[in-house]
Amino acid sequence: MLNQAPYPYTMNSMKGFSVLSCLTPKSETQFILDAATIRQALEKFDAHKFSVVPVLDKDGNYINTVSEGDLLRFIKNEANFDIRVAETKTLKEVARYRPYECLDVNCSSEKVLALSLRQNFVPIVDDRNKYIGIVKRSDIITLLSAPGDAE
């Protein structure tokens, strides 16, 4: 029988789960500032092989995410495939197709789990909206599949 819940895990199978138990801290993540140029963003994507990265302002506040697709659409639609334009435009000017939602560090495990079904990672902020890291879907899956955690 199919589970009709939005996700198949219960709080019993998530025993021990907290945002902090799965948090990859900011210092171990890749992010980019919203004042960076399109070219700088492309270089970061190329160097680190990520498809989506968090975007922060100069004060460390979480703004949203930017994807490779967002950059490609901008270059195609706004820059007419001219890479020189990408050297002068910033991420502030790039439309986001599907930016990742962030959650507060004190949010429930259910919220993190539900959001992780739609996003590869969940950006986490503190009570001042400062980016403090991410919770990766793969880390949640690892925690949930650990021996002895499932009933």
Question: For the CA atoms of the chain, what is the radius of gyration?
Answer: 17
Provide the pLDDT confidence category of residue 6 given band limits of 50, 70 and 90.
very low
SS3 29: coil
What confidence score (pLDDT) does residue 66 get?
96
Q: Is residue 2 part of a domain?
A: no
Residue 13 has pLDDT above 70, yes or no: no
Q: Is residue 91 part of a domain?
A: yes
Number of compact structural domains in the chain? 1
Q: Is residue 82 part of a domain?
A: yes
**pLDDT, average across residues 136-147:** 84
Q: Is residue 14 part of a domain?
A: no
Lowest-pLDDT range of 17-21, 24-28, 35-39, 56-60:
17-21
Q: Is residue 3 part of a domain?
A: no
pLDDT in tens, 79-138: 888 878 888 999 999 999 988 999 999 999 889 999 999 999 999 999 999 999 999 999
Q: Is residue 140 part of a domain?
A: yes
We report the CATH number of the domain holding residue 127 as: 3.10.580.10
Residue 44's domain spans which residues?
A: 19-144
Q: Is residue 40 part of a domain?
A: yes
Q: What is the pTM of this model?
A: 0.82
Instruction: Collect contacts of 137-141 with beta carbons under 8 A, ≥24 apart.
Output: 139/22, 139/24, 140/17, 140/22, 140/112, 140/113, 140/116
Q: Is residue 13 part of a domain?
A: no
